[in-house]
């Protein structure tokens, strides 16, 4: 390996690392507010990528069917709850929030399809299209067990991943797709080293979005409500923050990030219905480096994961994932050494 | 097991023995799959249900064993029986290594790490040339017994199910023994186990390896009945499926493994018939169906199928029928130091929590045969002082000497083994274990039988000794008639007394009691005082934290008073009561 190769690997690693960075932020956001380790995150990103591919070929993205299916399930769940509580007066509101709201991006996507609009329309539509997915599946499957232990939520979340990837196969089929680059061309770094604009775009988006993320959390009331819920849910409730609403906000924010990731990676790798899982898991490695709590550490961890993956693939393309997941073990060991040794009783599934 | 339970068990065994005579080859093949899956699920019920350690990587152990035996038998022409030894060795060693690396992790980090190694191992299978990469290994020889080759489903059936039966019997024995009680206490936390002299990490590790070995046997059977291995049956999805079996059957009971495996294979099989009728891609939809099944279970029936059975009232164990008793000698007792000899000396103990000084330069001593009370207003640092003496918390500075030995840096379980037994301010009992089993945990450090001996029932004499000892201590505190009830059914005050019985089962020199009288009624307090005085007469020394002044003043020989982390005064009760500084600490009056 010479310096040129190392530089190429470093830039490639930073580009994938910035994808993991965005995913890691989404995962930490969802975990800190809801205690759910949100495994289906990557699936949602893959769905955004596949939607964009559908727009490019001029076909209606199957995602519409997926979102509407989930929305109708959520409406059924909500109505069932209203019936049991005898609060049918709230029905119009429920239909608005869980039925109409998710249908809006579907409508937009349907309208965009097949018209000769600039590429940006398809990109925006793909991102918006997947935004309802996380809040919807969380409403259907996770809200009824919101008070269960982290472990039960983790198992449920894994089951949700298999549900989504099964549905992905049903709606998108087994074929993979790759989209046109969002920005064409390449530029030259000082020193005569060429970098494609797409890679620069990925790194730039990560920087800009994490900056926005920081501002959102530090400067807005909603961001502060999210942080408050993460630190102490009972306390947040006592000052009037509604946990279900902050959870929906966190899921929505996570979903939005997943959509962005989807359109960012769609031009650089071929995406299949189940490609998201591995992306999500690698973002987890980053999130765990941050202890599922710290955003800056997660960001650093994500870049490290991207670099490890990039360099590992130089030695053995087939085993690069083993290397990445292997790095988790020393990280976890370090975490458990650093963790305060406060005695906590083991979590129980069956109670 | 109750009589009803044994009848049901006998009926199930008889049905399983006769099944191949009635069923066709297809159904027998399905039952073979159930047996192979149930072995893994049995390990998961043990690991997750009993021990509280969740593994999303169990299929990787199945894979290690399957590939190990497949490789040895196909490339070296070895007998599958050698393959079994090799497979178990490979699984055991890898489980031991993985366990040593990860089992110290707390909370949700442990399950997350299992995803990491589970994924990595199944990725490795598909990338190693010697293991045939993604196409796997084929032409694996079938099992044989003597000259008979087990190629038909019917013939393998009579190997798989006896193996499952043996494994079930082994685990069942194990759980009702000394190491089993430690495993069942794991969820109570490492402090509970250390307080009876057990090493929680070692218990976790042996449990983890045991579950992996069960998966290993299953993998070996899988390789030689399917006679082909490839990476996909050992990936994360398969691990989740095994976990689904355990949860669907019920993590609370061993039988849940069998019920769950049966249920999952039945559903899987009927889905394969049904789904293609619904949609063209239906054949690939069973993942969706399983995910939905899993989510519904988590929402509505976390106890699984066996949860329903035990809720109907048959699962509650009555008094176990002990086999005809042979008289056994009582457990050996240690010799207590002569009354009046120095027992415990604390010198300059300091404990910081960050910037907060919880215990500040406290020194005191006690002699054998004394009852010493540690009192002080709320937040004075009494419980922290207790945690320092018993080794539950490390000291920031200072020295503790017990029976002439420096125990300042000794781990909690070593101190417990030296003869210091404690109770907890926040009760640490296993609510679903019987009073008897909870007390029997106390005798852990006095007995020796390990997992293997216990699983094979070679521990009967020792179990009898432990049982006798636990009954003796229960009689001592007056709860012998409720020995087989669940500890969680006792009122909180009585649970504290039960902790004293557990401490006594350790045959202690020094008993360290944290607020034993809290939550007791007046008569119960009188009885407790009487018990503690009897213990002193028997030569046991007692160090006690208590808020009930009337109770303490009547009981103790000497008092140590703490305030704001420091020692205020020390002396006989009457003297302390008259002390102005103590009065002002409690009442806030100006001295």
Dihedral sign from CA coordinates of A298, A300, A302, A304: negative
Q: What is the pLDDT of residue B283?
A: 58
Q: What is the pLDDT of residue B140?
A: 92
Q: What is the tally of structural domains in chain B? A: 2
Q: Does residue B282 register a pLDDT over 90?
A: no
B373 forms beta bridges with B544, B559
Q: Please report whether residue B329 resides in a domain.
A: no
Please check whether residue B545 is in contact with residue B383, taking contact to mean a CB–CB distance below 8 angstroms: yes
Q: What is the mean pLDDT of residues A278-303?
A: 88
* C-beta atoms of A145 and B189 within 8 A: no
Q: What is the pLDDT of residue B550?
A: 87
CA distance A343 to B1: 34
Q: What is the pLDDT of residue A339?
A: 61
Based on the domain organization, do B88 and B218 belong to the same domain? Answer: yes
Q: Each residue of B524-571: pLDDT tens digit?
A: 899 999 999 999 999 999 999 988 888 999 999 999 999 988 999 999
Most confident by average pLDDT, A191-205, B312-326, B526-540: B526-540
Q: Does residue B315 register a pLDDT over 80?
A: no
Chain B partners of A160 at a C-beta cutoff of 8 Å?
291, 295
Distance to chain A for B502, nearest Cα, Å: 19
Domain boundaries, chain A: 3-337
DSSP B31-60: HHHHHHHHHHHHHHIIIIIIT----S-HHH
Chain A partners of B249 at a C-beta cutoff of 8 Å?
none
Please check whether residue A258 is in contact with residue A48, taking contact to mean a CB–CB distance below 8 angstroms: yes
B347 forms beta bridges with B399
Q: Each residue of B429-449: pLDDT tens digit?
A: 999 899 999 999 999 999 988
Q: Does residue B3 register a pLDDT over 90?
A: no
Torsion angle of C-alpha atoms B276, B280, B284, B285, degrees rounded to 10: -70
Q: What is the pLDDT of residue A239?
A: 87
Residue of A nearest to B123 (CA): A322
Q: Please report whether residue B111 resides in a domain.
A: yes
Q: Does residue B402 register a pLDDT over 70?
A: yes
Based on the domain organization, do B392 and B517 belong to the same domain? Answer: yes
CA-wise closest residue to A341 among B52, B341, B107? B107
Confirm whether pTM is higher than 0.80: yes
Q: What is the pLDDT of residue B317?
A: 44
- Average pLDDT in chain A: 86
CA-wise closest residue to A280 among A300, A258, A299? A258
Tokens 């409403």 correspond to: A139
* 3-class SS of residue B235: coil
Q: What is the pLDDT of residue B316?
A: 43
Show the tokens assigned to A47: 């769905």
* C-beta atoms of A166 and B251 within 8 A: no
Q: Quick one: pLDDT band at residue B318, thresholds 50, 70, 90? A: very low
* 3-class SS of residue B354: coil
Q: Quick one: pLDDT band at residue B169, thresholds 50, 70, 90? A: very high
Q: What is the mean pLDDT of residues B279-290?
A: 72
CA-wise closest residue to A47 among A137, A140, A157, A145? A137
Lowest mean per-residue pLDDT among A337-346, B448-457, B531-540: A337-346
Distance to chain A for B211, nearest Cα, Å: 18
Distance to chain B for A188, nearest Cα, Å: 37
Q: What is the mean pLDDT of residues B232-256?
A: 89
**Interacting residues of A253 by C-beta distance below 8 A, sequence separation 6+:** A26, A29
Query: Which carries the bigger pLDDT value, residue B545 or residue B584?
Result: B545
Lowest mean per-residue pLDDT among B293-302, B317-326, B461-470: B317-326
CA-wise closest residue to B279 among A177, A44, A173, A68? A173
Q: Does residue B7 register a pLDDT over 50?
A: yes
- Which among B215, B235, B255 is the end of a domain? B235
CA distance A140 to A75: 9
* C-beta atoms of A339 and B106 within 8 A: yes
Q: Quick one: pLDDT band at residue A344, thresholds 50, 70, 90? A: very low
Q: Each residue of A206-225: pLDDT tens digit?
A: 999 888 888 888 888 888 88
- Which among B185, B205, B235 is the end of a domain? B235
DSSP state of A348: -
Q: Does residue B287 register a pLDDT over 60?
A: yes
**Interacting residues of B287 by C-beta distance below 8 A, sequence separation 6+:** A162, A163, A165, A166, B237
Q: Please report whether residue B433 resides in a domain.
A: no
Q: Please report whether residue B445 resides in a domain.
A: no
Query: Which carries the bigger pLDDT value, residue A214 or residue B125?
Result: B125
Q: Quick one: pLDDT band at residue B321, thresholds 50, 70, 90? A: very low
Based on the domain organization, do B177 and B51 belong to the same domain? Answer: yes
Q: Quick one: pLDDT band at residue A345, thresholds 50, 70, 90? A: very low
Based on the domain organization, do B219 and B355 belong to the same domain? Answer: no
B434 forms beta bridges with B486
* C-beta atoms of B127 and A141 within 8 A: no
Q: Each residue of B206-233: pLDDT tens digit?
A: 999 999 999 999 999 999 999 999 998 9
Show the tokens assigned to B510: 């020094």
Q: Each residue of A253-270: pLDDT tens digit?
A: 999 999 999 999 998 889
- Which among B235, B270, B295 is the end of a domain? B235
Based on the domain organization, do B414 and B546 belong to the same domain? Answer: yes
Distance to chain B for A203, nearest Cα, Å: 27
- Average pLDDT in chain B: 89
Q: Does residue B294 register a pLDDT over 90?
A: no
DSSP state of B97: H
Based on the domain organization, do B205 and B352 belong to the same domain? Answer: no
Domain hosting residue B54, numbered range: 39-134+144-235
Q: What is the pLDDT of residue B313?
A: 46
Please check whether residue A113 is in contact with residue A175, taking contact to mean a CB–CB distance below 8 angstroms: no
């Amino acid at each position: 390996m010479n310096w040129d190769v190392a530089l190429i690997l470093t830039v490639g690693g930073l580009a994938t690392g910035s994808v993991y960075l965005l995913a890691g932020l989404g995962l930490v956001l969802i975990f800190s507010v809801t205690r759910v380790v949100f495994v289906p995150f990557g699936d949602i990103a893959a769905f955004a990528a596949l939607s964009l591919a559908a727009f490019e070929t001029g076909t209606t993205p199957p995602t519409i069917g997926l979102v509407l299916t989930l929305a109708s399930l959520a409406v059924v769940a909500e109505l069932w709850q209203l019936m049991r509580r005898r609060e049918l007066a709230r029905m119009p509101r429920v239909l608005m929030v869980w039925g109409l709201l998710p249908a809006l991006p579907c409508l937009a996507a349907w309208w965009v399809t097949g018209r000769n609009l600039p590429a940006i329309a398809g990109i925006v539509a793909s991102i918006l299209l997947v935004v309802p997915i996380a809040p919807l599946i969380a409403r259907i499957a996770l809200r009824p067990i919101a008070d269960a232990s982290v472990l039960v939520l983790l198992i449920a979340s894994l089951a949700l991943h298999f549900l989504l990837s099964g549905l992905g196969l049903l709606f998108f089929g087994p074929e993979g797709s790759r989209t046109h680059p969002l920005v064409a061309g390449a530029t030259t770094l000082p020193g005569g080293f060429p970098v494609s604009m797409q890679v620069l775009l990925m790194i730039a988006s990560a920087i800009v979005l994490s900056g926005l993320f920081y501002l959102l959390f530090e400067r807005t009331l909603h961001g502060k409500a999210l942080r408050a819920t993460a630190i102490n849910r009972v306390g947040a409730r006592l000052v009037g923050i509604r946990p279900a609403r902050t959870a929906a906000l966190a899921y929505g924010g996570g979903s939005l990030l997943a959509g962005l990731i989807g359109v960012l990676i769609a031009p650089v790798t071929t995406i299949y219905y189940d490609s998201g899982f591995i992306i999500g898991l690698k973002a987890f490695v980053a999130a765990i480096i941050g202890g599922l709590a710290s955003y800056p550490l997660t960001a650093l961890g994500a870049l490290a994961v991207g670099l490890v993956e990039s360099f590992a693939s130089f030695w053995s393309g087939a085993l690069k994932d083993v290397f990445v997941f292997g790095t988790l073990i020393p990280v976890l060991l370090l975490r458990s050494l650093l963790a305060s040794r406060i005695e906590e009783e083991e979590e129980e599934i069956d109670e | 097991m109750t009589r009803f339970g044994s009848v049901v068990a006998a009926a199930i065994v008889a049905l399983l023995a006769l099944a191949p005579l009635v069923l066709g080859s297809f159904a027998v093949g399905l039952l073979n799959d159930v047996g192979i899956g149930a072995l893994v699920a049995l390990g998961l019920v043990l690991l997750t249900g009993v021990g509280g350690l969740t593994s999303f990587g169990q299929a990787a152990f199945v894979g290690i064993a399957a590939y190990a035996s497949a490789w040895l038998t196909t490339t070296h022409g070895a007998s599958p029986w050698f393959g079994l030894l090799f497979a178990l060795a490979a699984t055991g060693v890898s489980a031991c290594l993985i366990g040593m690396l990860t089992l110290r992790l707390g909370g949700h980090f442990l399950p997350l790490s299992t995803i990491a190694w589970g994924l990595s191992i199944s990725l490795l299978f598909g990338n190693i040339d010697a293991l045939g990469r993604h196409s796997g290994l084929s032409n694996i020889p079938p099992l044989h017994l003597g000259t008979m080759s087990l190629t038909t489903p019917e013939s393998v059936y009579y190997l798989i199910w006896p193996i499952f039966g043996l494994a079930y019997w082994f685990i069942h024995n194990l759980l009702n023994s000394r190491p089993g009680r430690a495993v069942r206490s794991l969820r109570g936390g490492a402090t509970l186990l250390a307080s009876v002299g057990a090493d929680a990490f070692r218990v976790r590790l042996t449990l983890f390896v045991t579950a992996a070995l069960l998966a290993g046997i299953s993998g070996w059977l899988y390789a030689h009945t399917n006679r082909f291995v490839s990476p996909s049956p050992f990936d994360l999805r398969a691990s989740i499926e095994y976990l689904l079996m355990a949860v669907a059957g019920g993590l609370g009971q061993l039988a849940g493994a069998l019920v769950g495996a049966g249920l999952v294979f039945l559903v899987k099989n009927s889905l394969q018939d049904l789904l293609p009728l619904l949609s063209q891609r239906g054949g690939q939809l069973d993942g969706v169906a399983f995910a939905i099944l899993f989510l519904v279970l988590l929402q509505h029936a976390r106890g699984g199928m066996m949860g329903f059975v035990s809720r109907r009232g048959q699962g509650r164990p009555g008094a176990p029928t002990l086999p005809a008793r042979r008289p056994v000698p009582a457990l050996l007792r240690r010799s207590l130091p002569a009354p009046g000899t120095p027992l415990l000396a604390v010198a300059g103990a300091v404990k910081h929590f960050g910037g907060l000084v919880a215990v500040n330069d406290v020194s005191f001593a006690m002699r054998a045969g004394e009852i010493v009370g540690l009192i002080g207003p709320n937040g004075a640092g009494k419980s922290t002082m207790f945690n320092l003496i018993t080794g539950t918390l490390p000291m920031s500075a200072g020295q503790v000497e017990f029976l002439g030995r420096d125990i300042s840096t000794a781990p909690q379980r070593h101190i417990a083994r030296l003869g210091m037994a404690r109770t907890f301010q926040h009760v640490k009992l296993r609510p679903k274990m019987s009073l008897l089993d909870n007390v029997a945990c106390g005798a852990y450090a006095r007995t020796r039988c390990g997992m293997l001996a216990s699983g094979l029932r070679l521990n009967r004499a020792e179990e009898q000794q432990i049982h006798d000892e636990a009954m003796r201590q229960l009689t001592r505190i007056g709860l012998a008639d409720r020995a087989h009830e669940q500890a969680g059914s006792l009122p909180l005050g009585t649970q504290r007394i039960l902790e004293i019985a557990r401490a006594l089962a350790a045959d202690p020199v020094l008993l360290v009691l944290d607020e034993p009288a809290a939550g007791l009624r007046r008569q119960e307090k009188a009885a407790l005082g009487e018990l503690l005085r009897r213990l002193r007469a028997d030569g046991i020394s007692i160090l006690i934290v208590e808020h009930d002044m009337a109770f303490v003043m009547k009981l103790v020989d000497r008092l140590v008073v703490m305030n704001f982390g420091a020692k205020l005064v020390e002396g006989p009760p009457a003297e302390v009561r008259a002390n102005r500084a103590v009065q002002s600490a409690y009442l806030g009056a100006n001295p």
